[in-house]
Amino acid sequence: MNHKRFSSNFFFLIIIIFFFFPPHAASEYSRPPPRQLIFTTNTRSESDPEQVHISLVGKDHMRISWITSAKHTKSIVEYGKSPGKYQESAMGEDTSYHYFFYRSGKIHHTVIGPLEASTTYYYRCGGSGPEFSFRTPPSSFPVEFAIVGDLGQTEWTASTLLHIGAENYDVLLLPGDLSYADSHQPLWDSFGRLVEPFASRRPWMVTQGNHEIEIFPIIQPHGFKSYNSRWLMPYEQSGSNSNLYYSFDVAGIHIIMLGSYADFDSDSDQYKWLQSDLGKIDRKITPWVIALIHAPWYNSNAAHKGEGESMRKSMEEMLYNARVDAVFAGHVHAYERFTRVFDNKADPCGPVHFTVGDGGNREGLALMFEKPSPSISVFREASFGHGRLKVFNETHALWSWHRNDDSDSVTADQLWLQSLSSSKSCGKTTTGSPRDEL
């Protein structure tokens, strides 16, 4: 099928239905009770790799990250296209950290490549232990993302991960709050083991949340020590000087990972970096642009109300001028989808905002939504789940949110998106005032 020749009338009809006849009321779904915390232990030898996860580096490289208890192991990755046959190898670097009386294992980060697109590779870390495999993302459309925030490590988390892994996807995006360790460092290790079966097979691209800060006055005054040591992202490749914010490309999509807990005012490094990053985007090469944050800029839930407002006031106009297509947030433990919006008003040239902070955390769901629902809020539900964004071509993508319902995954919300770069009225970007474009 030639996806570029989808019937435009069909897509426009779907878009009109969703935007002009939206189901504003929150779903009446009856929510199951919370589930218990899962704590996983290491069952491998001290020299064998554990907590293996992978992340993208540039267009054709992959970073392999893992931990060993033994200190003598090398940061080598052997890899190839056939099981047990490793024609290539690469040597990386290692780090470790201490937090109060806790000392981490040896944390390895090794970049391999160049790699071919849409190809399965088999690899081994440190010269011993089990074999892993991953599949590289495609170099062109279609491409699919799994998107989930506030994972934690409960039985609901395990259910979410099983639902994500039950269907194919190319890259997982996580807008903050990974392990919910909250300074209890063994929970970082437990989380790494829990997600390894999934994070070792597809690249996980993450940004930080409030549970990653882990500051303790005087003794641990600098935040994100554990997060930065364990979850190294390709920030340098995008010109960022911080692992807390960066960008990267997948096929024809430019993804911007912003830091809700890094400085973001107009004098900050993050603000200046975002200006530069947006200015480099070529919508002919990447017709889609999406952004991820942790604290949502739009939120009709009583939980964390207004916590993203300062960042919104600082950065929203830049995203609007650049015609960012969608913004995904976590933090609030519920799902919510807004219409296209700018400056608290419906705007056909603004991004669609989604809150997906419902991965399965231990704090439970955020049940208290405002009543009545604000006009810009289209669908909201306090349930655990995850989202998927399948980008078919330069103009159209399908978003769906999948509710956890015991052992089943239920598609509870769905929306066709048209890229703003393909919109006749919104396709032109500007560095001036947004009002000049309307």
Residues forming the active site: 304
Ramachandran assignment for 151, one of left (phi > 0), alpha (psi -120 to 50 degrees), beta (any other): alpha
- The one-letter amino acid code at 248 reads F
Q: How far is it, in rounded angstroms, from Cα 390 to Cα 56? A: 18
Annotate 48-58 with b (16+ C-beta within 10 A) or e (fewer). bbbbbbbbbbe
Q: How far apart are CA 40 and CA 186, in angstroms?
A: 10
The span from the CA of 10 to the CA of 391, in Å, is 16
Side-chain-facing half-sphere of 432: CA atoms under 13 Å: 5
Residue 279 has a CB neighbour count (10 Å cut-off) of: 11
Question: Which SS3 state, helix, strand or coil, does residue 165 take?
Answer: helix
Q: Name beta bridge partners: 396.
A: 418
State the Cα–Cα distance between residues 112 and 109, nearest whole angstrom.
10
Token couple for 255: 């993804």
CA distance 2 to 145: 21
Q: Which of these, 313, 321, 319, 266, lies nearest to 292 by C-alpha position?
A: 319
* Per-residue tokens: 161: 């991960």
Give the C-alpha separation, 136 to 150, whole Å: 25
DSSP codes joined into one string, 263-315: --STTSHHHHHHHHHHHT--TTT--EEEEE-SS-SS--BSTTTTTTHHHHHHH
| Phi (first) and psi of residue 367, to 5 degrees | -90, -15
> For 16, which DSSP code?
H
